[in-house]
Amino acid sequence: MKTFDIPTFYRSPIIGRVKNVRKTDDPRKKDFSPTILDFGNVSIVLARHFGFCYGVENAIEISYKALAENPGKRIHLLSQMIHNQAVNADLQDRGIRFLMDTYGNELMPFDALTKEDIVIIPAFGTTVEMEKRITDLGIEVQRYNTTCPFVEKVWKRSSALGKNDHTIVIHGKPKHEETRATFSHAKENGAAIVVENMADTELLAAYISGKRPLSSFNEDFKGRTSEGFDPAIHLTKIGVVNQTTMLASDTQGIADFLKNVMLDKYGEGKIKLHFADTRDTLCYATNDNQQATIGLLEEGADMALVVGGYNSSNTSHLVELCEEKMPTYFIQSEEEVLSMSEIRHFDIHSKEVVQHVGFLPETEKPKIVVTSGASCPDSIVDRVIQRILEFYPGSKAIDEVLATFEKREAN
């Protein structure tokens, strides 16, 4: 796989060494068991896969390349390049301005842009309409287009479905940039509809099976269907794609559920005429990170720290997985660990930042999971580990623990 030129301050002396050893031992990524670093009076449990994925590294490389190649020019990002506050803040500190927020609201007037300006398309991609709007201003958008290749893969699959008269069912968060972009591209070639979860899917199934009157369809799916969507026509032949950062198991569950609905309606002999197999739209990195999280949960621990941007979809899903097994805290950086007893973290259910007292386990030798989302630099994870070790005086030195780990894995 391609390697990327990433600024050194995103790289990590701790996590980097662990990942290099695991990569050497398991180049085909078949082993999802975690790494356990034993510091004597506390153990840190690391998922087999976490942190920057291919698409994020690609976007970071292109963004910093744009800065290096265009001194003195005005450089803009269409919206947040990825959902990580540290990365976006650094780009802004270097002079890049954001044109929109994550919901598509303009932060500066597009009328102020000129054909001499540079506009970077973020890793989530953008809508067909927005790309045309920028191009019409005379700005070349493909030069610094950082759209993740796996997002583009979903677009290509959607296009193929639409051209074969399938309606594209998109599993994603309706307001998320990637879902908005995928919906825009999908509806260029066919009918499209967005479902966020299984509840939406069950509602959609009620229309497919005829258990719910079509007269209420437009109200139930308002703002989430392509123009001219007719449930009487467009729900007879479907295929499922996804926002790549959703839980892979959830997407597959939705696809399997809808396939069974179509089987009940049309029968086994005609299922291929009414339902398309779209398993190939699941992002490998999202799936690897989620499988690795499941692997570390099987190992067991006393608590988990999940590091990433609060608006990061893939990170929030890692939090969901960890919450099922242990106390879990979603933090942006080591700065959220306020003291030995107090932590500030994001509650994914209330969507609020809250503070919690007494978060560290009271066991004699706790096992603490530390992992991160696909848009979080490993250097931040390093600092979180170092922060936790501050609360365990007498713990073994980091270099000693890493050397022991490397020696053990080499034997």
| Whether residue 398 sits in one domain with residue 314 | yes
- The domain total for the chain is 3
| Whether residue 404 sits in one domain with residue 336 | yes
Greater pLDDT, 345 or 247: 345
| Whether residue 58 sits in one domain with residue 28 | no
Domain annotation covers residue 141: no
How far is C-alpha 186 from the geometric centre of its chain's CA atoms?
Answer: 20
- Of the listed ranges 58-67, 188-197, 277-286, 294-303, the one predicted with least confidence: 277-286
- Asked about 178 being catalytic, the answer comes back as yes
pLDDT tens for 278-312 read 876 777 788 889 999 999 999 999 999 999 999 99
Residue 28 has pLDDT above 90, yes or no: no
| Whether residue 247 sits in one domain with residue 367 | no
Domain annotation covers residue 3: no
Confidence band of 262 (pLDDT split at 50, 70, 90): very high
What pLDDT shows up at residue 249?
Answer: 87
| Whether residue 161 sits in one domain with residue 270 | yes
Percent of the chain with pLDDT over 70: 99
CATH number at residue 67: 3.40.50.11270
| Whether residue 115 sits in one domain with residue 58 | yes
Phi first, then psi, for residue 372 (nearest 5°) are -155, 165
CA atoms within 13 A of residue 218's CA, in its CB half-sphere: 6
pTM comes to 0.89
What pLDDT shows up at residue 356?
Answer: 95
| Listed residues 240, 258, 281: the one ending a domain | 281
Residue 44 has pLDDT above 70, yes or no: yes
Taking the C-alpha atoms of residue 234 and residue 227, their distance in angstroms, rounded to an integer, is 12
pLDDT tens for 84-136 read 889 999 999 999 999 999 889 999 999 999 999 999 999 999 999 999 999 99
| Whether residue 59 sits in one domain with residue 40 | no
| Whether residue 392 sits in one domain with residue 374 | yes
What pLDDT shows up at residue 410?
Answer: 84
| Whether residue 296 sits in one domain with residue 269 | no
| Whether residue 277 sits in one domain with residue 189 | yes
Question: Which amino acid is located at 165 in the chain?
Answer: D
Domain annotation covers residue 146: no
CATH number at residue 196: 3.40.1010.20
Domain annotation covers residue 142: no
Domain annotation covers residue 356: yes
- Catalytic position from the list 178, 196, 320, 336: 178
What pLDDT shows up at residue 8?
Answer: 85
Are 166 and 238 in contact by the 8 Å Cβ rule? The answer is: yes
Residue 69 has pLDDT above 70, yes or no: yes
Are 65 and 324 in contact by the 8 Å Cβ rule? The answer is: no
Domain annotation covers residue 207: yes
Quote the mean pLDDT of the chain: 94
Domain annotation covers residue 145: no
Is 341 buried (19+), middle (13-18) or exposed (0-12) by CB count in 10 A? exposed
Three-class DSSP labels, the chain = CCCCCCCHHHCCCCHHHHHHHHHHHCCCCCCCCCEEEECCCCEEEECCCCCCCHHHHHHHHHHHHHHHHCCCCCEEECCCCCCCHHHHHHHHHCCCEECECCCCCECCCHHHCCCCCEEEECCCCCCHHHHHHHHCCCCCCCCCECCCHHHHHHHHHHHHHHHCCCEEEEECCCCCHHHHHHHHHHCCCCCEEEECCHHHHHHHHHHHCCCCCHHHHHHHCCCCECCCCCHHHHCCCEEEEECCCCCHHHHHHHHHHHHHHHHHHHCHHHHHHHEECCHHHCCHHHHHHHHHHHHHHHHCCCEEEEECCCCCHHHHHHHHHHHCCCCEEEECCHHHECCCCEEEEEECCCCEEEEEECCCCCCCCCEEEEEECCCCCHHHHHHHHHHHHCCCCCCCCHHHHHHHHHHHHHC
Is 153 buried (19+), middle (13-18) or exposed (0-12) by CB count in 10 A? middle
Domain annotation covers residue 1: no
| Whether residue 39 sits in one domain with residue 64 | no
Greater pLDDT, 181 or 80: 181
Q: How far apart, in Å, do the first and last CA atoms of the chain sit?
A: 27
- As a whole number, mean pLDDT of residues 50-54 equals 91
What pLDDT shows up at residue 1?
Answer: 58
Confidence band of 5 (pLDDT split at 50, 70, 90): confident
What pLDDT shows up at residue 280?
Answer: 64
| Listed residues 281, 316, 342: the one ending a domain | 281
Residue 276 has pLDDT above 80, yes or no: yes
What pLDDT shows up at residue 324?
Answer: 95
Strands 192-195 and 167-171 come out as: parallel
Is 95 buried (19+), middle (13-18) or exposed (0-12) by CB count in 10 A? middle
| Whether residue 205 sits in one domain with residue 274 | yes
| Listed residues 238, 253, 281: the one ending a domain | 281
What pLDDT shows up at residue 220?
Answer: 97
Residue 254: domain span: 152-281
